[in-house]
Amino acid sequence: MEHLTDDQIRGLRRGGHDVRKMYAAYQAAVENRGAPTAILAKTVKGWTLGEGAEGRNVAHQQKKLNYEQMVRFRDELRLPIPDERLEEAPFYLPPKNDPVYEYLHECRRRLGGYVPKRTVSAPVEEIPPLRNFGDLLVGSGENEFSTTRAFAKLLADLLKDEKFGRRVVPIIPDEARTFGLDALFKRFGIYSSVGQVYEPVDSKMLIMYREAKDGQVLEEGICEAGAMATFSAAGTSYATHGVTMIPLYIFYSMFGYQRTGDQVWAFGDARGKGFLLGATAGRTTLNGEGLQHQDGHSHLLFSAVPSCQSYDPAWAYELAVIIRDGLRRMYEEGEEIFYYITLYNENYLMPPMPDGVEQGILKGLYRMRPAPEMDGAPRARAQLLGSGTILREALRAQEILAEKYRIAADVWSATSYVLLRRDALAAERWNRLHPEEEPRVSYVVEQLGGTEGPIVATSDYMKAVPDQIARWLPDRFLPLGADGYGRSDSRQALRRHFEIDAEHVAAAVLHELSRRRQVKPSEVSSALRDLGLDPDAPDPGYA
């Protein structure tokens, strides 16, 4: 080293600051075939910023330079910025005729334009009308099935759609059989870049594990992070590729957000579009799997993502209406939003769609079954809100209240508390800022404000989910919900444990009526006994 001065030694740079070395590396990378390339480039943090920043442990937080540092920085970069202006750190552009401009623009011309740049050029889609989902609208007749089954049917219909079926992207992290989606494997194939080089063990079966180079299903293995990353690539394709792809990613509702929440947030940031389906939903509906699997809070987690529209439907027709409208909003209207929809695995009879409920389903609430007629006037009235499978408990409570207590209760399907809340907040904001105008009335107040009696909500999710609308229904609203760690038992036993079943709903209505002095406390006590409810049972929120 004798031939080098100290300054020359200091001038021995790291490779990442050498344009020729980096060019050689990039060139080798783009010429490489058969494997991805990682370039590991060694650099100095804060390079050229001078002493005090370059290579120092504090470099990352450095956001100020003093006058001497500015002088050195300017000299290092050899820019014609006068000393007296250094303290204000002025921006610098060379004069218009400087050859750097021609060079720089010519480089970009050769490469096709400027980056980064985001453009949305995907054409508007024609969405099939709701009647195309006819099977889900007419009810199940004598057949019981689940909303997960309804989704499988709907997904198959979308895949078969002549216009955009090809661009539907089903994404599943190794749970297709759990969700009853394994029939897609044979018909649409699982994507594999090499096709299928072996004979599958089930090749002679009706449903076989078929991999294909043009397979449509992305079966991602046990990897929610990978599935979410694929969902992101597909859901932003309308901008990054100028081609609309329609991803539907179905996962265990407990794991989807909880494992990959940061990616979900980034997806919203990226203006991603698509459908996330939280299957095996509900803390008591998925009943045997216990604490780590039974989801009673994903709706709360997704409620935090501003561009996410969350729904907790109970019936097949609700699901069809929601997905059809989602397709319309995202791919016809071009809204940069996405959907989270919970799907349950409990089988029951699906009713046909009543008339005039579509808007209510989409806005988050509609009266599904008015109180039954009874002989003479009812003692009192009440409103019961139910979501998902637990809507059926509200329907059963309606019967109990009518038959045993002569209380007339309307049952409402609450498909989305978060959307009701956003609408109410928007109305509230408008009123706050327009003091002299006619106040706006939120949808939830428009629907429930004029009704009579206490409002009791029940669902397979935490009480905080229905509580989102409580503020606009002062002194009328009582939520029941599955707060607390889940556990394994029968659905019936779990719904009793979490106090969300019909009997607890009925007792909660009586309690609320006693607060209003329409019912005596002693009558509530005897009802608790009659309904078989233990007042001293452990609080499930702490159990």
Partner 1 sequence: MNLQLNVDRQTLHLTAADSGEVDRDPSETAEWTQALEGLIEHVGEERARFVLNALMERAQARRLKLPLLVQTPYVNTIRRSEEPPFPGDAEMEKRIRRIIRWNAAAMVLRANHRDPGIGGHLATYASAATLYEVGFNHFFRAKNEGRAGDHIFFQGHSSPGIYARAFLEGRLTQEHLENFRHEAGGKGLSSYPHPRLMPDFWEFPTVSMGLSPLAAIYQARFNRYMRDRGVKETDDSRVWAFVGDGECDEPEALGALSIAARERLDNLIFVVNCNLQRLDGPVRGNGKIIQELETVFRGSGWNVIKVIWGGAWDPLLEADAGGLLVRRMNEAVDGDYQKYSVEPGSYTRQHFFGKYPELL
Identify residue 241 by its one-letter amino acid code.
Answer: H
Angle of helix 502-515 relative to helix 391-405, nearest 10 degrees, comes to 60
**Closest to 128 measured CA to CA, from 326, 356, 343:** 326
Residue 139, exposed/middle/buried by CB under 10 A (0-12, 13-18, 19+)?
middle
Residue 190 sits at φ, ψ, to 5 deg, of -95, 130
How far apart are CB 307 and partner 1 at their closest, in Å?
8
Rank residues 232 and 294 by Cβ distance to partner 1 and give the closer one: 232
**Cis peptide before 116, with omega less than 30 degrees from 0?**
yes
User: Hey, is 248 helix, strand or coil?
Assistant: strand
Rank residues 330 and 480 by Cβ distance to partner 1 and give the closer one: 330
**Closest to 269 measured CA to CA, from 221, 305, 309:** 305
380 in Cβ contact with 436 (< 8 Å): no
Rank residues 234 and 482 by Cβ distance to partner 1 and give the closer one: 234
How far apart are CB 231 and partner 1 at their closest, in Å?
9
Rank residues 48 and 492 by Cβ distance to partner 1 and give the closer one: 48
How far apart are CB 429 and partner 1 at their closest, in Å?
17
How far apart are CB 125 and partner 1 at their closest, in Å?
14
How far apart are CB 121 and partner 1 at their closest, in Å?
9
Residues facing residue 274 across a β-bridge: 338
How far apart are CB 323 and partner 1 at their closest, in Å?
22
Rounded to whole angstroms, the Cα distance separating 206 from 92 reads: 70
Rounded to whole angstroms, the Cα distance separating 527 from 507 reads: 7
354 in Cβ contact with 323 (< 8 Å): no
How far apart are CB 433 and partner 1 at their closest, in Å?
17
Rank residues 22 and 533 by Cβ distance to partner 1 and give the closer one: 22
How far apart are CB 189 and partner 1 at their closest, in Å?
10
Rank residues 125 and 499 by Cβ distance to partner 1 and give the closer one: 125
Rounded to whole angstroms, the Cα distance separating 509 from 478 reads: 9
Radius of gyration, CA atoms only, the chain = 30
Rank residues 36 and 141 by Cβ distance to partner 1 and give the closer one: 36
Q: Which two tokens stand for residue 105?
A: 């623009």
Rank residues 42 and 429 by Cβ distance to partner 1 and give the closer one: 42
409 in Cβ contact with 416 (< 8 Å): no
